Homo-oligomer: A and B are copies of this chain.
Amino acid sequence: MGISNINIAEQIKKTGLKLTTQRIKILEAIYYLKNHPYAEDIIKHIQADNPAISQGTIYKTLDTFVEKGIIGKVETSGGTFRYDGITKMHHHLQEEGNSRIEDYFDEDLNQLLVNYFSSKNIPGFKVQDVKLHIKGKFKT
């Protein structure tokens, strides 16, 4: 479990959105399918138990959630999207020619970046957030 239903309902409510069964199921699915699910994964997972929840609704809702900032949209090199229930600062490990993506949490690195960009001034640009795409090889 880890994340209770009450928590999910509250997450949705605090955005000002109406609380619907569909939205609850969708957010549950994202938390359940931890590993950066594709829209397709989310749709399948939900429709297995709730065939009446439509694809269109799921896409719309994912967009809405991303807009409200309660989930993240991960850019892929394949042109399809993946979603991400994690909001706290993290980076992504990726291997070329492989769909695997792992989250990478590193407080030292975050600190280093924050320090660097607080002293470094990029002319004409105000930095708000930094995310690393770390490419390499998985050893496992």
Residue numbers of A with Cβ under 8 A of B are 73, 75-77, 79-81, 93, 102, 104, 106, 108-109, 112, 116-117, 120, 122, 124-140
Can you identify 13 A-B contacts, CB atoms within 8 angstroms?
A: A73-B77, A75-B75, A106-B120, A112-B112, A112-B116, A117-B134, A124-B138, A124-B140, A125-B136, A126-B137, A128-B136, A129-B136, A131-B133
Contacts of A80 in B (CB 8 A): 79
**Identical copies of this chain, number:** 2
**With A and B bound together, what is the CA distance between A112 and B130 in angstroms?**
15
Contacts of A120 in B (CB 8 A): 106, 108-109
Chain B residue nearest to A67 (CB atoms) is: B97
Contacts of A104 in B (CB 8 A): 122
Complex partner residue of A139 from B77, B116, B126, B139, CB under 8 angstroms: B126
Contacts of A116 in B (CB 8 A): 109, 112
**With A and B bound together, what is the CA distance between A126 and B94 in angstroms?**
10
**With A and B bound together, what is the CA distance between A109 and B104 in angstroms?**
19
